[in-house]
């Protein structure tokens, strides 16, 4: 077991904690769900079990207490109550703190004790009702429980051991390879091994099938003494092992050879004192006088060196950490370089296929494979699914709604939509603000909801979808909606709008995003101070995104955050209209179908295609980009799915998938709406990346205008 395993365990434990949290929150809604109880129990059980295995003894111990309670919940002895769930959630947070102790604060012992005694109380009152349990809550921090264990050797502390191994002569008859055992020992940590060959007899007396050698080893490991013993588990009855821990504290002076030899019991203290008086090298004299053997002295010297090395290492090690923080620009440069590489690779592939050279082809294929891998890995460094962020809000919503006496359920969609890591991180705060607003202003109190014919429980729906080169994140609540008049009145009061200005809904709602704007009558600790929305807007702006509000009075509000895909590379569908190439983001492409002149004729001039009985509107890219010339007899429609609607794009040919390195069009073309970027193809020509959403909108606007 090494640090890596620990990290893996930690990751696993974090996942389990999230699972536990989810289960608990769901359990709150359906307290009788046996599956959920089982799920919560299993999560704790695994954390406990593996925790002990990976040296997180405190985690194991603490989790054990809660698991015990849940075991009884599982048996049906204890009912699932709000108190139980709240307590367990608190416990979950403490476990998390214990796990990431390295970075943050460790939970204090009283805090742990408090939870444990609260749990015990729960068991006693709901169970046998015996009063002989520790006092609850307040007094528990001073209760006469055994004092917390002193700062023990922390689980990952490096300890240096001295081992002396001697084997019975016939050890080889068990088929044991001792060198393998020494190798295994070396895998536990920094290890210095010296052989003691003193017992090897003269050649004429040697039995070649016997083992005469013993070994001394000095091992620095974080795996504990049991791991060392495990190495020798198969040979324990045919060998003698002496294991002692030795001090390697940096403050302590380096130990002298004599001290080590005395500690090992190889030399008597008096002998050392006597010889030291001779002022000659100790080792030499000891050997000369036959007090000890050269091997023993060498072994002690090796220990001395080993300890010195470890001390130096510990000092250096303090600066090493398991993750590397890299400035985002460095990653950007890397992503850019990979982008260039992809372009060059496309050229190579194209050239290779033109030259009809098998050798070159195979190289090109290899480069293609490697480039794809490189690209994926590079992008992966930065991409994270948004689900983990959504998960965090579940807790926020629960806690806040409880505080305000509202009942709110959260639903999510598109958790696996991946976004750039930095975007996700910086998205957290604005989302928190927006969700708080939903809870505070949006969702009504349960009785109000009932009286307006709505379900008692409000819903907040979080969703994330790719839309062209953007990601749309929506926060939708089914609350009372925005009050247009109130907002307008406030805007006038604040001097943001003229008293009788004619404003569109969107303009009115956008006032909410102004600094210091709040219509809340009571300032709660949740929201209403008018800070929040503008902060959220600023944060989204900083990410290059936009934020939009739409609302229906009495039905709810939807906040849509549109973020540009910061990805420099996307999978695209390469299509051709006349001689021009275009790229449609593959993520929104649903299918490609043919469009014949006959089909067009049947539609009587409307841009509608009948696809397996379904009417799908389409847009001709040829018209949109004003490309001259006649279209071929059979055209292709690329059907895209956009905001739940299917819209076709008519092109001449579909070329195929294309790894698209997005290049900015530059300032010059920043007002070109229908194109989100461009890419360079293998043969050097430029293909424009169609901003599908914008093209659709502009067509809609034109249509609306002409009607």
Partner 1 sequence: MSKRIMTVDDSTSVRQMVSFTLKQAGYEVVEAVDGKDALSKIEGSGIHMVLTDLNMPNLDGIGLIKGLRTHQSFRFVPIVMLTTESQESRKLEGKQAGATGWIVKPFKPEQLVAVVRKVLG
Can residue 534 be called a binding residue for partner 1 (CB under 8 A)?
Answer: no
Beta carbons of 428 and 365 less than 8 angstroms apart: no
- Taking the complex as a whole, the smallest distance from the CB of residue 57 to partner 1 amounts, in Å, to 23
Can residue 234 be called a binding residue for partner 1 (CB under 8 A)?
Answer: yes
- Taking the complex as a whole, the smallest distance from the CB of residue 181 to partner 1 amounts, in Å, to 8
Can residue 172 be called a binding residue for partner 1 (CB under 8 A)?
Answer: yes
679: three-class secondary structure by DSSP:
strand
- CA 330, 331, 334, 336 torsion-angle sign: negative
Binding window for partner 1 (CB under 8 A); candidates: 154-162, 180-188, 260-268, 508-516: 180-188
**Count of residues of this chain found to bind partner 1 when the rule CB under 8 A is applied:** 12
Is 5 or 317 the residue whose CB approaches partner 1 more closely? 5
Binding window for partner 1 (CB under 8 A); candidates: 232-240, 347-355, 406-414, 632-640: 232-240
Binding window for partner 1 (CB under 8 A); candidates: 53-61, 179-187, 217-225, 360-368: 179-187
- Taking the complex as a whole, the smallest distance from the CB of residue 1 to partner 1 amounts, in Å, to 11
Can residue 656 be called a binding residue for partner 1 (CB under 8 A)?
Answer: no
Binding track over 321-350 against partner 1, x by CB under 8 A:
------------------------------
Residue 237 burial (10 A CB sphere; 0-12, 13-18, 19+): exposed
Site for partner 1 in 235-254 (CB under 8 A): 237
- Taking the complex as a whole, the smallest distance from the CB of residue 231 to partner 1 amounts, in Å, to 8
Alpha-carbon gap, residue 686 to 340, rounded angstroms? 14
Q: Which helix (H) or strand (E) holds 493?
A: helix 484-493
Q: Which of 2, 176, 213, 607 binds partner 1 (CB under 8 A)?
A: 176
Is 180 or 206 the residue whose CB approaches partner 1 more closely? 180
Is 238 or 457 the residue whose CB approaches partner 1 more closely? 238
Is 147 or 175 the residue whose CB approaches partner 1 more closely? 175
- Taking the complex as a whole, the smallest distance from the CB of residue 45 to partner 1 amounts, in Å, to 18
- CA 373, 379, 381, 383 torsion-angle sign: negative
- Taking the complex as a whole, the smallest distance from the CB of residue 175 to partner 1 amounts, in Å, to 4
Residues 6+ apart with CB under 8 A from 158: 189, 220, 221, 222, 248, 310, 314
Residues pairing with 318 in the sheet: none
Give start and end residues of each alpha helix (H) in 409-467. Answer: 421-437, 446-451
> Encoding tokens for residue 690?
């169609």
- Taking the complex as a whole, the smallest distance from the CB of residue 183 to partner 1 amounts, in Å, to 7
- Taking the complex as a whole, the smallest distance from the CB of residue 237 to partner 1 amounts, in Å, to 7
The CA-CA-CA angle for residues 210, 212, 214, to 5°, reads 135
Is 204 or 209 the residue whose CB approaches partner 1 more closely? 209
328-355 and 358-382 helices cross at what angle (nearest 10)? 160
187-222 burial, b at 16+ Cβ within 10 Å, e below that, comes to ebbebbbbebeeeeeeeeeeeeebbebbbbbbbbbb
- DSSP of 623-650: HHTT--SPPPSEEEEEEEEETTEEEEEE
Is 207 or 305 the residue whose CB approaches partner 1 more closely? 207
Q: Which of 144, 205, 233, 499 binds partner 1 (CB under 8 A)?
A: 233
Is 230 or 548 the residue whose CB approaches partner 1 more closely? 230
CA nearest 568: which of 420, 667, 463, 671?
A: 420
Q: Which of 7, 77, 137, 183 binds partner 1 (CB under 8 A)?
A: 183
Binding window for partner 1 (CB under 8 A); candidates: 146-154, 169-177, 193-201, 517-525: 169-177
Residues 6+ apart with CB under 8 A from 6: 54, 55, 156
Q: Which of 83, 174, 451, 525 binds partner 1 (CB under 8 A)?
A: 174
Is 234 or 269 the residue whose CB approaches partner 1 more closely? 234
Q: Which of 173, 376, 399, 485 binds partner 1 (CB under 8 A)?
A: 173
- Taking the complex as a whole, the smallest distance from the CB of residue 170 to partner 1 amounts, in Å, to 9
Can residue 207 be called a binding residue for partner 1 (CB under 8 A)?
Answer: no
Is 237 or 270 the residue whose CB approaches partner 1 more closely? 237
DSSP state of 176: -
Binding window for partner 1 (CB under 8 A); candidates: 18-26, 167-175, 373-381, 588-596: 167-175
- Taking the complex as a whole, the smallest distance from the CB of residue 160 to partner 1 amounts, in Å, to 24
CA nearest 341: which of 315, 378, 310, 311?
A: 378
Residue 677 burial (10 A CB sphere; 0-12, 13-18, 19+): buried
Residues pairing with 246 in the sheet: 160
Q: Write out the residues near partner 1 by the rule CB under 8 A.
A: 172-177, 180, 183-184, 233-234, 237
């Amino acid at each position: 077991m090494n640090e890596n395993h620990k990290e893996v365990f930690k990751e696993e434990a974090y996942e389990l904690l999230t699972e536990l949290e989810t289960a608990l929150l769901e359990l709150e809604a359906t307290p009788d769900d046996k599956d959920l109880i089982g799920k919560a129990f299993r999560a704790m059980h695994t954390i406990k079990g593996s925790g002990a295995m990976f040296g997180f003894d405190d985690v194991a111990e603490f989790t054990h207490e809660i698991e015990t309670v849940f075991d009884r919940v599982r048996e049906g002895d204890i009912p699932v109550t709000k108190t139980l769930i709240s307590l367990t959630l608190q416990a979950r947070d403490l476990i998390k703190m214990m796990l990431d102790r390295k970075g943050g604060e460790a939970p204090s012992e009283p805090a742990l004790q408090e939870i444990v005694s609260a749990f015990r109380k729960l068991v006693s009152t709901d169970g046998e009702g015996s009063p002989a349990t520790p006092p609850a809550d307040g007094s528990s921090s001073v209760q006469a429980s055994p004092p917390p264990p002193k700062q023990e050797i922390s689980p990952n502390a490096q300890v240096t051991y001295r081992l002396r191994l001697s084997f019975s002569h016939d050890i080889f008859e068990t088929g044991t390879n001792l060198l393998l055992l020494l190798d295994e020992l070396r895998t536990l940590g920094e290890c210095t091994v010296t052989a003691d060959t003193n017992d090897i007899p003269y050649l004429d007396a040697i039995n070649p099938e016997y083992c005469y050698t013993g070994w001394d080893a000095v091992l620095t490991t974080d795996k504990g003494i049991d791991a060392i013993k495990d190495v020798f588990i198969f040979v324990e009855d045919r060998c003698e092992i002496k294991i002692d821990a030795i001090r390697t504290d940096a403050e302590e002076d380096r130990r002298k050879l004599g001290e080590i030899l005395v500690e090992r019991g190889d030399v008597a203290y008096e002998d050392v004192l006597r010889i030291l008086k001779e002022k000659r090298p100790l080792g030499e004299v000891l050997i000369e006088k036959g007090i000890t053997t050269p091997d023993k002295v060498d072994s002690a010297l090796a220990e001395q060196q080993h300890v010195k090395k470890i001390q130096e290492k510990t000092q250096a090690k303090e600066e090493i950490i398991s993750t590397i923080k890299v400035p985002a620009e460095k990653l950007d440069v890397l992503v850019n370089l990979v982008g260039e590489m992809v372009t060059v690779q496309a050229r190579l592939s194209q050239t290779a296929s033109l030259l009809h050279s098998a050798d070159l082809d195979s190289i090109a294929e290899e480069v293609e494979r490697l480039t794809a891998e490189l690209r994926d890995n590079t992008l992966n460094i930065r991409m994270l699914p948004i689900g983990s962020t959504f998960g965090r809000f579940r807790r926020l919503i629960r806690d806040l709604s409880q505080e305000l006496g509202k009942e709110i359920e959260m639903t999510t969609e598109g958790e696996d939509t991946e976004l750039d890591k930095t975007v996700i991180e910086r998205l957290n705060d604005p989302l928190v603000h927006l969700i708080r607003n939903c809870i505070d202003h949006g969702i009504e109190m349960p009785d109000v909801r009932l009286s307006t014919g709505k379900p008692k429980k409000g819903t907040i729906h979080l969703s994330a979808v790719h839309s062209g080169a953007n990601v749309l994140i929506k926060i939708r609540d089914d609350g009372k909606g925005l009050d247009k008049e109130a907002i307008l009145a406030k805007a006038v009061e604040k001097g943001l709008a003229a008293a009788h200005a004619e404003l569109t809904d969107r303009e009115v709602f956008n006032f909410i995003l102004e600094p210091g704007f709040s219509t809340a009558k009571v300032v709660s600790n949740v929201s209403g101070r008018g800070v929040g929305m503008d902060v959220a807007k600023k944060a989204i702006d900083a990410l290059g995104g936009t934020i939009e509000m739409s609302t229906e009075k009495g039905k709810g509000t939807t906040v849509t955050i549109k973020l540009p895909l910061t990805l420099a590379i996307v999978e695209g569908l390469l299509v051709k209209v006349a001689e021009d190439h275009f790229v449609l983001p593959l993520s929104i492409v649903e299918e490609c179908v043919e469009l014949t002149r006959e089909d067009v004729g049947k539609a009587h001039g409307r841009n509608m295609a009948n696809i397996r009985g379904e009417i799908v509107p389409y847009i001709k890219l040829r018209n949109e980009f004003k490309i001259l010339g006649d279209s071929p007899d059979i055209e292709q429609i690329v059907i895209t799915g956009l905001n739940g609607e299917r819209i076709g794009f008519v092109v001449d040919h579909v070329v195929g998938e294309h790894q698209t390195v997005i290049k900015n069009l530059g300032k010059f073309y920043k007002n070109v709406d229908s194109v989100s970027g461009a890419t360079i193809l293998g043969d050097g020509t430029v293909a424009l990346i169609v901003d599908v959403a914008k093209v659709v909108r502009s067509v809609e606007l034109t249509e609306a205008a002409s009607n």
